[in-house]
């Protein structure tokens, strides 16, 4: 597994505290990347969370698994599916092809994406800290183009410079909601993080050969207590056909969230009727 953390740290550190970083976005991104734990997050899961983004204006238990986290997507998530384009020139395929070479030179591949797809979010950088009894949250979107967007909030109050352009503000809100939705998914009681590390013998050999160590990372798995369980609801249905149920959050009686994975209901029926949904 190729981890983006060193690449992100190098690029953001290079631009931190320069004339290209008047709002300290790159500086904060570099500080997060320097200490972050990486969690591999499926782009398909991000897309599954998209319909629920606006619900995360409600109070949720936003609690990071580590003080600093990089949610590394297994493929870039198309920018236009979540955000208004603030700088259309960054979606120029020729420009994106140039920045793609930066990834390739670092030995990284952006799977499932080409410059013709337009810009996409390759990772979210998240941090959380307490100051004077107030919890401060930062979320930074790191794009395939190597551009970034950052939002800072306490509680439900977004803080950023007073941009006059309306979609700048809308994008900040979307970025906050996206971060909260992803973390809510990580915190679902039926999911857990599984750590992956290279064997000590391999690490020692790399050090001996003058190579950097292989960085550890985490993946999201079904929690042990929930493995092997089947959704009984899938086998029964008041309808006379099989149909799809997309992934969704369910709130338990104690207020915690559980993630219900995509499945089919009405499995006792042979007839399958695919759902038809409006595309926004």
Q: Are residue 154 and residue 199 in the same domain, yes or no?
A: no
Q: Are residue 30 and residue 118 in the same domain, yes or no?
A: yes
Higher pLDDT, 163 or 14: 14
Q: Are residue 260 and residue 176 in the same domain, yes or no?
A: no
Cβ atoms within 10 Å of 11's Cβ, excluding its own: 20
Q: Are residue 9 and residue 147 in the same domain, yes or no?
A: yes
Structure confidence at residue 89 as a pLDDT band (50, 70, 90): confident
Task: Count structural domains, the chain.
Answer: 3
* HEC secondary structure over the chain: CCCCHHHHHHHHHHHCCCCCCCCCHHHHHHHHHHHCEEEEECHHHHHHHHHHHHHHHCCCCCCCCCCEEEEEEEEEEEHHHCCCCCCHHHHCHHHHHHHHHHHHHCCCCCCCCCHHHCCEEEEEEEEEEEECCEEEEEEEEEECCCCEEEEEEECCEEECCCCCCHHHHHHHHHHHHHHHHHHHHHCCCCEEEEEECCCHHHHHHHHHCCCCCCCCEEEEEECHHHCCCCCHHHHCCCCCCEEEECCEEEECCCCCEEEECCEEECCCCCCECCCCCCCC
C-alpha gyration radius of the chain = 20
Which pLDDT score, from 0 to 100, does residue 260 have? 78
What is the pLDDT of the chain when averaged over all its residues? 83
- Over residues 25-60, the pLDDT tens digits come to 999 999 999 999 999 999 999 998 888 777 665 556
- Over residues 178-227, the pLDDT tens digits come to 999 999 889 988 899 999 999 999 989 989 999 888 899 999 998 887 76
Q: Are residue 122 and residue 155 in the same domain, yes or no?
A: yes
Residue 209: domain span:
191-222
Question: Among residues of the chain, what percentage have pLDDT more than 70?
Answer: 79
Q: Are residue 165 and residue 94 in the same domain, yes or no?
A: yes
- Mark which of 158, 186, 214 sits at the end of a domain: 186
Q: Are residue 120 and residue 11 in the same domain, yes or no?
A: yes
Q: Residue 273 pLDDT more than 60?
A: no
Q: Are residue 118 and residue 176 in the same domain, yes or no?
A: yes
- Over residues 188-199, the pLDDT tens digits come to 888 999 999 999
* pTM greater than the 0.75 cutoff: yes
- Angle, CA 12 vertex, CA 14 and CA 214 arms, to 5°: 105
Q: Are residue 91 and residue 33 in the same domain, yes or no?
A: yes
Which pLDDT score, from 0 to 100, does residue 223 have? 85
232: Cβ–Cβ under 8 A, 6 or more apart, which residues?
A: none
Q: Are residue 170 and residue 262 in the same domain, yes or no?
A: no
Q: Are residue 206 and residue 269 in the same domain, yes or no?
A: no
- Over residues 122-164, the pLDDT tens digits come to 999 999 998 888 889 999 999 999 999 999 988 766 665 455 5
Q: Are 145 and 99 in contact (CB under 8 A)?
A: yes
Q: What are phi and psi of 194, to 5 degrees?
A: -115, 125
Q: Are residue 111 and residue 32 in the same domain, yes or no?
A: yes
Which pLDDT score, from 0 to 100, does residue 216 have? 94
């Amino acid at each position: 597994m190729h981890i983006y953390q060193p690449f992100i740290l190098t690029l953001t550190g290079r631009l931190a505290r320069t004339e290209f970083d008047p709002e300290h976005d790159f500086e904060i991104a570099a500080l997060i990347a320097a200490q972050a734990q990486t969690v591999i997050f499926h782009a398909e899961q991000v897309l599954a969370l998209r319909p629920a983004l606006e619900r995360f204006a409600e109070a949720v238990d936003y609690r990071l698994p580590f003080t600093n986290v990089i949610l590394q997507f297994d493929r870039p998530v198309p920018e236009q599916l979540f955000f208004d384009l603030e700088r259309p020139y960054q979606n120029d395929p020729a420009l994106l092809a140039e920045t793609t070479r930066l990834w390739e030179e670092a030995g990284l591949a952006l799977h499932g994406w080409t410059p013709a797809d337009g810009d996409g979010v390759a990772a979210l950088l998240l941090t959380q800290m307490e100051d004077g009894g107030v919890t401060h949250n930062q979320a930074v979107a790191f794009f395939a183009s190597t551009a970034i967007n950052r939002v800072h909030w306490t509680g439900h109050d977004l803080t950023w410079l007073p941009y006059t352009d309306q979609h700048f503000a809308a994008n900040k809100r979307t970025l906050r909601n996206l971060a909260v939705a992803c973390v809510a998914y990580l915190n679902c009681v039926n999911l857990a993080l599984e750590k992956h590390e290279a064997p000590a013998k391999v690490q020692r050999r790399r050090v001996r050969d003058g190579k950097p160590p292989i960085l550890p990372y985490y993946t999201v798995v079904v929690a042990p207590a929930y493995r092997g369980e089947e959704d009984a609801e899938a086998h029964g249905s008041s309808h006379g056909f099989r149909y799809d149920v997309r992934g969704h959050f369910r709130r338990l009686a104690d207020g915690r969230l559980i993630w219900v994975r995509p499945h089919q209901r009405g499995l006792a029926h042979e007839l399958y009727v695919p759902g038809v949904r409006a595309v926004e």
